[in-house]
A = this chain, B = another copy of it.
Amino acid sequence: MSVTAADGFVANGTACGIKPGGQPDLALVSTEDGRPVPAAAVFTPNLATAAPVEVSRTHLAQTGGRAAAVVLNSGNANAATGPDGRACAEETCAMVAHGVGCEAGEVLVCSTGLIGIPLPMAPLRRGVPAVVGGLGPKGGGAAANAILTTDTHAKEVAVHGDGFTVGGMAKGAAMLAPHLATMLAVLTTDVEVSPSDLHRALQSAARNSFNALSVDGCTSTNDTVIVLASGRRGPIGQDAFTDALTWACIDLAEQMAADAEGATKLARITVTGAMSDEEAQAAARKVADSLLVKCSLYGQDPYWGRVISELGSAGVGFDPELVSVAYGDEVVCRNGVAASHDPSLVADHLRQDHVTITADLGLGTGSGMVVTSDLTHAYVDENMRTS
């Protein structure tokens, strides 16, 4: 149940000294033989792109979608570090390549931590040989531990398909440590799949998992999801593979959500009846990112007026006299006005850890969903100071 669950991969994690407290901060995932295999990635759309994102994107483009290893550090984001930051990321890749026996361009690199601080290279120059030396098929757990920031536990997954496996690890600042605001995930599989099919499957899986999580509407400089495919178990159908990859990503995303220290509850915001799926998703995100809605969730307050107000300002097709809103199964607003309902059922629903809000725009067949958390005193506490 880890990033080494799929056949053909080894991993390791160690403490190299980037984090002042001495916690694990360097992880490596590699093919067993150091040979490159099909690889795909999705990166943050943020234009303030961190150096490792730029380097990984360049490497993947140069190899046409192949990689032999992924190196990840926590404790420093290597973002807003300019050309020096890119040189640090390239040097890290070169050191890993020397260790595992591949080209530097066949190594992908991820960082997570504070923005704007030069990446210290001395710890990495000591750490990379050490982490390479300990690579093994049982090293997934150590790798998963070394990428954490303020996560309270490691996030790992293994999905076993019919004759194949998808494994993975992630760190999720998405909800629990938004001041770092980075999510990283590395997945592996033993399926035989072309780089282009692998990329298509990853895009679909990310859209239905990581991209449907929203905590604070902030998009990190470092977000990265990478998948490597060893091919050891041969080809399978694209749909079956995409399904397994999607389940693995959903599992990791839900582990991030469940580790949300600042939050007391999760809410699944579903919008149906929109003019398109895109409009439904945009409307769901507007509701999910609303400070007022998130405060209401914390207070267990069934004030659906805020939901209506957000839907009306989401920039999508909206008719105030067609919209309905439900908390759980109780419809509290129908055709834009208050609907008679049982307040005690709504109150019961809002007391739960998992809340669902469903809005039907009554216009079309588009639907979309976003998972969010409530806005709490603890969120403010966690984010008011980074040090």
Contacts and interface: CB of A to CB of B under 8 A. Distances in A.
A181 interface: yes
A125 B83 CA distance: 71
A208 interface: no
A61 interface: no
Interface string A78-97: 01111111000000000000
A179 B46 CA distance: 31
Count chain B CB atoms within 10 A of each CB in A80, A114, A117, A313 and give the residue with the most. A80
A306 interface: yes
Interface residues of A, number: 67
Contact of A217 (B77, B179, B291, B387): B291
Contacts of A306: 115, 179, 181, 218
Given A80-B305, A304-B116, A383-B295, A313 B216 contact: no
A28 B54 CA distance: 60
A333 interface: yes
A150 interface: no
A218 B291 contact: yes
Contacts of A290: 216-218
A194 interface: no
A299 B384 contact: yes
A23 B177 CA distance: 43
A178 B292 contact: yes
Interface of A: 45-49, 77, 79-85, 114-118, 178-179, 181, 216-221, 289-292, 295-296, 298-301, 303-306, 308-313, 318-321, 323, 333, 335-338, 375-377, 379-380, 383-387
